Structure 1
């Protein structure tokens, strides 16, 4: 597939129509044209000259450079900017001629029609040509409606109002294009964070290459102020790195030899040598940018409904227009000329521009705004869902807690076997609790043995043989074969009451010892949960495999409303299913262990700081390793949904008011076009306000105080 930027796309309906025509070409079946992003994807083997003919029929054209978030963006914008300048020039000349005609109206009568016709042609010729073509093809869209209205106005001698309609419609299209282009530019400014070049070190020599040519194990030099070209590991140098491009966090992160860095992050000081671990297209940044770009083209249920509605809405308006023209004169003795004029005005009121624009600009703005904050939303549909959720289910480990458990306490009942057996069984496990146990055992001089016949029991622990004898290492469910003596049972209950997670080591007859493991609660968890309740989340639930006492302790400390402990992975899924029966549920986890529960919820939210599994698993990814920005993401999503509802109300409301003016016969052509244009301008401007970042408050996840700023980018 090849991707091209387009110039001259005039409306969403036209874009859909062009896509349908391109799909009918040979090798065109897979073509995808997006009005939102202004891009066309086509098969490599499609005949481009045929594609260009179809695009030219709507005054659109290809910008030939293939787009890879490079200089092509600017080239495309130059063309669009040129088109806008041409349209502004034509509208300015038309307006000047129109005003001159009005000024000389009382002095010269015969030549006025030529003045008006010239002004009308300059501002509306593109619309007129498209409309005439559509009429012959029996396609009824915005241009068709406007063309019928202009022909009608001229036929009854309404030169002045017909010209005003043409000028105002041209202005409307200019503003409509400006609004969508502003949203696109904001998105592309975000996409432009990708580095373009890298300084590679080969045979001791420095060489500048494009990032696309980087391979795994290449070593690159990154000077102060430069972007790290792709994901890698520092092999020389220390520095602080700005990871805002990935995580949305502006606080620098200290990095030293052996630590991983993300492509797109900025080296603040010093010189780093980085060994590339991923080709650029596989890097976290490339995946994020690809997903953000793809997110623009998803359609929400609201948008799909508006598109379906528009198909029936335009013909319906034509029927209403015909009724207004015919019925009053026929049944009530009204003037044919007067009601023909009213019918033309109804046609203009019926333009669905504002209706179609109610949703996409708001959605692109919301996705862009969240992406700037390091929150990756994979599509408009998920943004809409985020604004509707009322229940949040949290995994505990790594989400509400730091996720690096440590052994806080241990009890030994068999001094000789406890540590060696635990070490032998846990050393091959990658489970966080096993790692905590191994870190504790490393403090002692223990000779680690080899375990055999290792069997992992999901949600319970491990069964294995050491020195030919069978051992059980895990939670209480894992030792149900034992009768536990009262003194040991008392110790177990004490440790559980302290909120510790237990790893019990036992043989077939007795318990050898117990590790009491704790996981530190994130300092921001309580304030984030409180803020979530403030932004409209009614129910917060914690789901964990840890025992009830640990769950209770953590739930109380962070302020979640309910909790469920001792859950196996499949039981987490069941809990999420039961929660979805009572509301819209989002599940938040680390994107690795919680995949089934994330998939079951109405919305899966993963915390990942750029990990592949997090990016691939969930509908929404928090690129930070904390929940600090989640309340803001929900606020933005709710604002987008409110904006879309307001836009629809304004678009339909202004049209309804204008249509009601036909009852007393007060509707004029210029009132009709102003109602349509007013709705389009309001819808566009209101949607663009989502991009404004006014406030900033203290981020509860950091010690950073962010100064208030207002920017629209």
Structure 2
């Protein structure tokens, strides 16, 4: 049975049940709206909402109408599966089978090639072959058109294409009819591909949670599914594993890599009693924790919910041709019928003459040039972007990029490299820097902590031999220690020392920390030996990229989960505004506020950035980012260079201008020949030429984008 919850409505005195399904088969937002309309018409349904990005249908109903809802969804051509708590937390998405989508396209292309070959030997048989090819290509499109009609969308783009192809067959333009269908199928396939890629981001997000957890009951360990975890359960987690739920640490101390949720590269040391979010990666010790979150309500689930909310906040955007077809198709059909009927019936004119003109008008109404005006420009724009190292997921994203006036940046991994490196090494009492680094790396070798890796890497770069320390161990709440060269070496943060540092030493530390650096101290047999400072460095092209964006009238703002001091240092170097210490939900709120003022893009590389990306007008991921960020984003910089942002915006603006030009060409020529056909000046052949000529002009204009500099 579907997942259910109940609330009480005072006015109606009836319970409202919340039912959820996963729906597969949607390839555009209009499919989601068709499902909503079909389900909403069922008696007992209070509201229906489909989140396209997660394929989730959620229905509020005053009675259990599950069977009716599933039947209604199936009736309009989609598959549904009810979600219970376990399925909802482990998998939201269907397994994509892209090869099935390409079968009709490949089949139609092969039939067209065969028809063309037959035409070379026998034109009549070739014409017949093209007719058969068009009818075969029409089958899936007309089926979908019929389903859309039944769901309340009588003039969807599929209807427009069906009418266009049949009209072309009536006047003998058989090859053109088949080509229009092929171009339409390719465009639909590209849109479906982009949608499926976006959904993979949600799959990757859910994959951060392990399927099972090791629970301890009365001293006995047993493995259970994470859906069966409940608050107050005691669990055990080993290094390299992720937390299956939000939990409170029972062990003394442990380090957790929380970058999946915060985006910050440096693991956090957690002490006994502190709460750690689900999805965090344990770095060092085997620990025990106490579960505090309900199933389906951990940190990962909340981020997923934020993504769904951001999707719902976006007004459903219909494609231009789909909206235009609601008026264009019925008007053209009506005018054609009137042209055929009125003169013979009312004025005694010859039927042959006006049937001829009506068919010519229908061909002029054939939206060949109009249909490809937008996809041709978008395809060229996307290809040009790919050549420049930018992945833009679909026409809508490409179009929206040109409207962006503000770009919000994550800090770590976006404006900075996301990898801490050693910036300062200071020794006290005339000690050797090389000896200090050798001792520090000996104690840190083998650690997964980014700071430890940075120290070891820096030592190796200095040409210093690496040696493992003996008896290496982590000191709860303090740091790490080991035996090296017969002495006890300890590395600790300044705040963890149980002694008061001298004023000169404190001044050194304060100065470094004011620069946004992380400082660790090294002690030899409890004698202070020196300090090492580390910092995440700015990307080399960050300043140039922001300057380039300013030249386009686009301003930048930094949104980070890092502390205000470190954020201020980076923001000052880049001369941009910033907001610091932000949780994922805070980033979403900040982006929404910016979006209310002007179109805003969000650039990030971490899972924590995914909800903000979805809330923005458009989300852009860095190529080095997490899979979730890359899949959730509308665009990605595969070359990982920030200067590609300005290139994408320039290309988008050029594409938008190209689309306007193409639509003007397509509609302008049709308007001219509409008048000349009604006056009898032009006939079928010129109508064919007008339509083909407009198509050729539109295509040639779109190809100019490939040469866009």
Summarize deviations over 1:448-505 as a string: whole Å, max 9, x none: xxxxxxxxxxxxxxxxxxxxxxxxxxxxxxxxxxxxxxxxxxxxxxxxxxxxxxxxxx
- Structure 2: stretches of 5+ with no match in the other structure: 1-17, 344-352, 383-389, 391-396, 410-494, 501-512, 518-534, 559-564, 597-601, 620-628, 630-639, 674-685
| Other-structure match for 2:487 | none
* 1:209 match: 224
Q: Residue 282 and residue 385 in structure 1: after superposition, are their counterparts in 2 closer, same or farther (change >3 A)?
A: farther
Aligned: 1:287 with 2:302: yes
Structure-2 separation of matches of 1:619 and 1:276? 30
Counterpart residue number, 1:654: 662
Measured at CA, do residues 117 and 208 of structure 1 come closer, stay the same or move farther in structure 2, by a change above 3 Å? farther
1:125 and 2:139 equivalent? yes
Q: CA offset at residue 273 of structure 1?
A: 1.7
Corresponding residue for 1:228? 243
**2:539 is equivalent to residue 522 of structure 1:** no
Per-residue displacement from partner, 1:491-546 (whole Å, max 9, x unpaired)? xxxxxxxxxxxxxxxxxxxxxxxxxxxx956358997997896475799999xxxx
Kindly tell me: are residues 325 and 259 of structure 1, through their superposed partners in 2, closer, same or farther at Cα, counting changes over 3 Å?
same
Aligned counterpart in structure 1 of residue 180 of structure 2, from 140, 146, 165: 165
Equivalent residues in 2 for 1:96-245, closer than 5 Å: 96-105=110-119, 107=121, 115-131=129-145, 139-236=154-251, 239-245=254-260
Q: Is 2:366 the partner of 1:345?
A: yes
**Counterparts of 1:641 and 1:212 in 2: how far apart (Å)?**
44
Structure 2 CA distance for aligned equivalents of residues 680 and 51 of structure 1 = 44
Q: For residue 692 of structure 1, what is the aligned residue in structure 2?
A: none
The number of equivalent residue pairs is: 502
- RMSD of equivalent CA atoms: 6.3
Partners of 1:282 and 1:150 lie apart in 2 by: 51
TM (norm. structure 1) is 0.53
Which of the residues 32, 51, 55 maps onto 2:73? Answer: 55
CA 1:343 to 1:276, structure 2 compared with 1: closer, same or farther past 3 Å?
same
**Alignment of 1:26 onto 2:10:** no
In structure 2, the residue matched to 1:37 is: 54
1:633–1:237 Cα change, 3 Å: farther
SS at match of 2:405: coil
Q: In the alignment, which residue of structure 2 is the partner of 1:91? A: 105
**Cα 1:659–1:275 shift into 2, 3 Å:** same
SS in 2 for 1:208: strand
Residues 1:522 and 1:317: Cα distance change in structure 2 (over 3 Å) = farther
Deviations 1:194-240, CA, capped at 9 Å, x for gaps: 33321111111111222233233322111232111123233237654
**2:413 maps to what in 1?**
none
Matches within 5 A, 1:308-387: 311=323, 314-316=326-328, 319=331, 336=357, 339-340=360-361, 342-346=363-367, 349-350=370-371, 354=375, 387=404
For 2:700 and 2:24, locate their aligned partners in 1 and report how far apart those are by CA, in whole Å. Answer: 25
The secondary structure found in structure 2 opposite 1:77 is coil
Q: Decide whether aligned partners of structure 1 residues 200 and 649 sit closer, same or farther in structure 2, where only a CA change above 3 A counts.
A: farther
Pick closer, same or farther for the CA change 1:208–1:390 going to 2, 3 Å.
closer
Equivalent-residue separation in structure 1 for 2:91 and 2:571 (angstroms): 51
Q: Write the distance in 1 (CA, Å) between the matches of 2:207 and 2:656.
A: 32
Deviation at 1:54, TM superposition (A): 3.7
Query: What is the Cα deviation at residue 147 of structure 1?
Result: 1.4
Partners of 2:145 and 2:68 lie apart in 1 by 22
Partners of 1:95 and 1:23 in 2: CA distance? 39
- Would you say the 8 A contact 1:117–1:159 is kept in 2? yes
Separation (CA, whole Å) in 1 of partners of 2:376 and 2:286: 53
Cα distance in 1 between the residues matched to 2:377 and 2:21: 24
Q: How many angstroms apart in 1 are the aligned matches of 2:206 and 2:651?
A: 25
| 1:572 aligned residue | none
CA spacing shift, 1:125–1:356, aligned 2, 3 Å: farther
Could you tell me which residue of structure 2 aligns to residue 5 of structure 1? 22
SS at match of 1:195: coil
User: How has the CA–CA distance of structure 1 residues 610 and 113 changed in structure 2, closer, same or farther, with 3 Å as cutoff?
Assistant: closer
Cα deviation 1:350-404 (Å, max 9, x = unaligned): 489859999xx9xxxxxxx9xxxxxxxxxx9xx9999534999xxxxxxxxxxxx
Secondary structure at 2:199's aligned position in 1? Answer: helix
Deviations 1:103-136 (A, max 9, x none): 2235556655664344334332121234367679
Q: How does 1:75-90 map to 2 (within 5 A)?
A: 76-78=94-96, 80-81=97-98, 84-85=99-100, 87-90=101-104
Distance 2:41 2:272 in 1: 56
**Number of the residue aligned with 1:68:** 88
Closer/same/farther in 2, CA of residues 274 and 647 from structure 1, 3 Å limit: farther
Partner of 2:3: none
Distance between the aligned counterparts of 1:27 and 1:356, measured in 2?
A: 45
Contact 1:6 1:61 in 2 (8 A): yes
Q: CA deviation at 1:184?
A: 2.0
Runs of at least 5 residues in structure 1 that lack an aligned partner in the other structure: 362-368, 370-379, 393-438, 445-518, 543-550, 563-585, 622-628, 686-713
Distance 1:338 1:668, change over 3 A: farther
- Mapped to 1, the partners of 2:58 and 2:704 lie a distance apart of 32
Query: Could you tell me whether the CA contact under 8 Å between 1:243 and 1:253 is conserved in 2?
Result: yes
1:143 Cα offset (Å): 1.2
Separation in 2, partners of 1:158, 1:122: 16
TM-score between both structures, scaled by the size of structure 2: 0.54
Distance 1:675 1:156 in 2: 22
Instruction: Work out the CA distance in 1 between the residues paired with 2:37 and 2:77.
Output: 16
In 2, Cα distance between the equivalents of 1:243 and 1:337?
68
CA contact (8 A) 2:216 2:234 kept: yes
